[in-house]
Amino acid sequence: MTQLARTRNQVVALQRHRLLVRWGTALAPLATGLLLILAAFWVVDFFFQLDAAQRTVMLVVCGLSLLWVFLRYALPLLSRHESTIDVALLVEQQHRLDSDLVAALQFDASPAVNYGSPELETAVVEQVSELASRIDFFEGTSYEQFSRRAFILAIIVILAVASIVVFPDHVRVFFQRLLLSADHYPTQTVMDTVVVNGKVVLSRAQHPTQPVDCSAAQGQPVTMFVQCINASQMWNNTSPLSGELRITGVDGGKKTVPLELLPLTDRLAGLEEAAIRIQEAIADPSVLVDQWWLDEVAPTVAFDAPLARTKLQRAPEDRAALDAALLEIHRATGSWPGSSADFTLFHGQFERLIESIDYQVHIGDAWTDPARIQMISLPVVTLDLKVVPPKYVGSENSRKPIGSRQLSVLEGSAINMSLSVANEKQIEDAWVRVSSKSDTTRWDLVTREDQRMVWSLAGTTPFSNVTKEFSFELHVRDTDGLQPESPIRGFVRLRSDRSPTATMELVHRVVLPSARPVVGFRVTDDFGIARLLLHLSVQRQHNEVPPVDSASEPTSADLRTQEIPLEAAWLPADKLPYHGRYEVNMAALELSKGDQVKLTIEAVDYRGETPGKSTLSEAVVLDISDEAGVLAAIAEADENSEERLNEVIKEQLGIGDEQ
């Protein structure tokens, strides 16, 4: 039957309409709650700058809040289901049709063939069909709750759209932060670059808020430069702007280091100082241009003269780059301030790094996320110096390790230099700078192991044959580019090989012409006696020199002096000091009363292939006399001895002392 097709369509349309209103009424508070929750999240996140963990907690709280809104306002409406018969009953109640409409729809859907009265069904259907054409099925549908909720949602949406239009960057960052991004909300102060110890750790173009972790040397200062854009505008140029470096140690200790604004005058002075240092390096080739030198020259060069910094980076390999860098600095200072006025520069220094630290940079209303400075231990090296004296010194004195760096060596000695690493760090490069009165020279050390842990000097160097005094500085650089806190310094002095000493003694100085007086002598030296001679000269009363007929004591009418070897072989150091005696045969000299014999000991030390140095003892003169003269000399000596003995006794007893 098709008489109720129009009526059925109207009932179905009302059913769909009520479903849409019900869904709209259910979803409006859900959307309103979502927008309000996001707005609350935004406010809290903006003012408290939540980190990723805090935002995760907030997301959970917001999710639970949105779930409560759904259960409270949406689920009751969404869980309600209305069939066609339910909608027809509502229409009957609205228009007081009793149950004719429901019956007609049922008769039209399944006509009674085997039961009931067909005439009655037809009459009901025709009556309802005629009545349905005169009633409004949508009459009585309530929109009050839907309208109220939709109005509130519309206001919230308008405010949200206005916020997006007014603060597009804030909204963009907010949704990125919802995804646990590390982005920061826009600030008036913009940190463009952060440099730690010459290394760029933050670049706005690459990672605007999260500095990369870096490393720094143990015990060394940590220097930071921060380049900012629009930093002065936030204060309207009425007060100086400063920042701070917030540091947290591994043990939780906190410290704040101020970051001071560098005026343009100070930055210009830094460029001028850098130019002076570069000129000194150009004028003096002995100035070592390495990374440490670059970091010390002028840190502001990287900001105020970036082209100069680029050229300076090549200076360790190509010193000609110093001239190009100097030219760029002169250009920057000549047009000062130029582009340097477009940004501000902040500087701070953490005096001494003793542990790894986490830090944050705060300048104005801008800040960075936490980053770490990992402490790297400096290379600890042990210097071993072994002195190899000349061969004539003796093997017992060679290759003795010297603990002191102030060395005193003999001329011609060799110094074996080697260094080893004590803290397992691999050495990348090692060299020693030798400075004397005339010049300064660099000598590179070579490694003896694949592990690059032991280095030594090789080849011909000032250490291989010490001929003059010099000072030295040992420099070491490990694979991290670090050097010890200070270079190892030392000095090599020449220790003179002292000349030998010789003394001689006689019991009696007056002897007979035929006497055989015994000469006692003592000689000593550092490393040995090569020759030992007795020089004998005769002074006759009438200046005549008789011949000498002894084989060991040559006789020649013209000979006024004689050299008599006292020892056949050389005397090594272990036999010194040496005490000896020699009997002089006076009869062979054919002496007479009144003659004098002068005796002198000559000692020549041993210096290997180098000629030795000689020393003469004090001369001893023998007077030649007869027996009466000898006895008188002995008696006089006895009287002098007795007189001296009496004086000693009086001194001991205190006789004759004044009160």
Whole-number Cα distances in Å, 353 to 217, 380, 411: 7, 17, 45
pLDDT in tens, 80-119: 887 777 666 666 666 665 555 665 566 556 655 555 556 5
Distance CA 391, CA 414 (A): 11
Sequence-ordered list of residues with C-beta below 8 angstroms from that of 531, at least 6 positions apart, any chain: 565, 570, 602, 603, 604, 612, 614
Quote the pLDDT of residue 357.
94
CB neighbours (10 Å) of residue 604? 20
Distance CA 468, CA 435 (A): 11
Quote the pLDDT of residue 545.
46
Pair 45, 178: CB distance under 8 Å: no
Q: Hey, what amino acid is at 631?
A: L
Tokens of 575: 């036999």
Quote the pLDDT of residue 193.
93
Residues of the chain with confidence (pLDDT) below 50: 1, 232-240, 396, 398-399, 543-559, 659
629-636, long-range: CB within 8 Å, 24+ apart, which pairs? 629/510, 629/593, 630/508, 630/510, 630/511, 630/512, 633/508, 633/509, 633/510, 634/508
Q: Hey, what amino acid is at 309?
A: R
- Reduced to 3 states (helix: H, G, I; strand: E, B; else coil), residue 502 is strand
Distance CA 492, CA 407 (A): 5
What per-residue string of b and e applies to 545-575 under the rule 16 or more CB within 10 Å gives b? bbebeeeebebeeebeebebebeeeebebee
Q: Provide the β-strand partners of residue 400.
A: 387
CA dihedral for 397, 399, 405, 407, sign (positive or negative): positive
pLDDT in tens, 539-588: 887 544 444 443 344 443 334 577 778 776 677 777 888 888 888 888 88
612-616, long-range: CB within 8 Å, 24+ apart, which pairs? 612/530, 612/531, 613/497, 613/499, 613/500, 614/499, 614/500, 614/531, 615/499, 615/500, 615/501, 615/502, 616/502, 616/535
Tokens of 632: 């008188």
Quote the pLDDT of residue 555.
43
Smallest CA-to-CA distance from 330 within 368, 304, 349, 355 is with: 304
Nearest 5°: the CA angle 486, 487, 493 is 130
Distance CA 437, CA 491 (A): 13
Quote the pLDDT of residue 232.
47
Distance CA 37, CA 131 (A): 51
Tokens of 351: 């005096």
Q: Hey, what amino acid is at 453?
A: M
Would you give the DSSP letter of residue 101? H
pLDDT in tens, 49-85: 898 999 999 999 999 999 999 999 999 988 888 777 7
Q: Count each helix (H run) and each strand (E run) in the chain, helices first.
A: 14, 30
Distance CA 184, CA 208 (A): 9
What is the spatial order of strands in the sheet that 446-447 belongs to?
Answer: 400-402, 381-388, 414-421, 454-456, 446-447
Any idea which residue has 């063939």 for tokens? 113
DSSP line for 278-289: HHHHHH-TTS--
Nearest 5°: the CA angle 29, 34, 35 is 100
Tokens of 631: 């006895």
CB neighbours (10 Å) of residue 76? 11
Pair 317, 289: CB distance under 8 Å: no
Nearest 5°: the CA angle 135, 147, 144 is 55
DSSP line for 446-486: EESSTTS-EEE--SS-TTTS--S-EEEEEEEEETTS---SS
Smallest CA-to-CA distance from 367 within 197, 194, 236 is with: 194
Tokens of 467: 């001929």
Any idea which residue has 């009438």 for tokens? 542
Distance CA 584, CA 621 (A): 13
Domains and CATH numbers, the chain: 5-178 (no CATH), 190-376 (no CATH), 381-495 (2.60.40.1220), 501-625 (2.60.40.1940)
